[in-house]
Amino acid sequence: MSDLDSLNSPADLAALNSATKYPSIPTYHELDPKNGGLLETSTAFEGDVVLTEKVDGTNSRIVLLPDGDWFIGSREELLYARSDRVGNPALGIVNALKPLADRLQGTGTDHIQVFFLEVYGHKVGGAAKQYTVQGNVGYRLFDVACVLPDVLDWSREQISFWRENGGQRFCTEAALQRAADAESIDLTPRLGTVPADELPATVEGMHEWLLSALPGTHVALDEGAGGRAEGIVLRTTDRSVIAKARFQDYERTLKRRTQPARSR
C-alpha cells in the first residue's frame, strides 16, 4: 500500500488515520496516576525552550498526500476527504479547515505531510466563550509532521507504537515557521524563548510563572470574550522534548494541597 493507490478501503484509511494522529504530549510536571494531580517531578529540558500558547479548542489535522489529495481529521478520526469521499462534520472542524486544505501546496516530496491545528471558538469545547461571544471560529497551526508512506503497510499495533514513541518526524521550530509562512497559516502565539535552567522546578513555582508569562489569551476572536488562556506548551528548538503546562492542572493540585486531609 506504500504507493498510496488504495486509500479508499476501510483498512487503509484506518492505517492512515493511526499514522497521522497527534501523539500524546506529557505534562511539564508528572501526573499522579492516583488522583490526576501534579507531582514535583518535572520534564528535563536542555538549551533554549520555545514557549507557545496552548489554545483550548479541538485538536485537528489536515493530511496532505504527495499527489495533492487530502484528508481532514479530528484527534481520533478522519472526518472528510477531498471530493467528499469521507464525510463527517463533527465539531465544526471540516467547515473551519476545508478552505485551508483546498489551498495547501505542501512540499512536493514523496512523504505524507500532516498539519496539526487547533480549531477553537464558537461551540468548540467548553472554553469557547474565552475566545468569542460573537460566534466566531478560528484555527492556529501548532505542529507539522512528515510520515513515510511505507508506514501504512504495518499492522495497526506497530503503527500505534511507532507514533507514540517518536516515529513521526516533526518540524523544528525554524522549519515550522517556514512552513507556516509558505502556506500563510497563523501559528499558535510565540511567547518567547527561555534557557532551560530558568524554568521553575516546583509545582507552585510553575503556577506563578504561568500567571506572569500568560495572563490572558493572545488569540481572542472578538472583543468581549472571556480571555482566559489554557496554558503554555514548552518545546526545545529541535522539538526533541515537548511538554504542556495547563492552568487548571496547577490550580487543582494546589487547591487539593490546601484542603484538610479527610479523616478515615
Kindly report the pTM of this predicted structure. 0.92
Strands annotated E in the chain: 29-31, 38-42, 48-54, 58-64, 70-74, 78-81, 112-121, 137-147, 169-170, 190-195, 231-236, 242-246
pLDDT, residue 109, reads: 79
Is 91 inside any structural domain? yes
Distance of CA 225 to the CA centre of its chain: 22
pLDDT, residue 241, reads: 97
Cα separation, 116 vs 131, in Å, equals: 20
Is 264 inside any structural domain? no
- DSSP, collapsed to helix, strand or coil, labels residue 150 as helix
Q: Which residue has the higher pLDDT, 49 or 125?
A: 49
pLDDT, residue 249, reads: 97
188-199 confidence digits (pLDDT tens): 999 999 999 999
Q: Is the dihedral of CA 112, 60, 24, 182 positive or negative?
A: positive
Is 5 inside any structural domain? no
- For the chain, give the percent of residues with pLDDT over 70: 92
- CATH number of the domain encompassing residue 200: 3.30.470.30
pLDDT, residue 90, reads: 62
Cα separation, 65 vs 108, in Å, equals: 9
pLDDT, mean over the chain: 92
- Record the cell numbers describing residue 228, joined without a space: 482566559
- Record the cell numbers describing residue 23, joined without a space: 501523539
Is 263 inside any structural domain? no
Confidence of residue 262 (pLDDT cuts 50, 70, 90): low
pLDDT, residue 260, reads: 72
Domain that holds residue 237: 10-258
Is 25 inside any structural domain? yes
Q: What are 73's strand-pairing partners? A: 61, 78
HEC sequence for 10-34 = HHHHHHHHHHCCCCCCCECEEECCC
Is 189 inside any structural domain? yes
40-88 confidence digits (pLDDT tens): 999 999 999 999 999 999 999 999 999 889 999 999 999 998 776 556 6
Is 175 inside any structural domain? yes
Query: For the chain, how many structural domains are there in total?
Result: 1
Is 2 inside any structural domain? no
Side chain identity at 130, as an amino acid letter?
Q
pLDDT, residue 261, reads: 61
pLDDT, residue 62, reads: 97
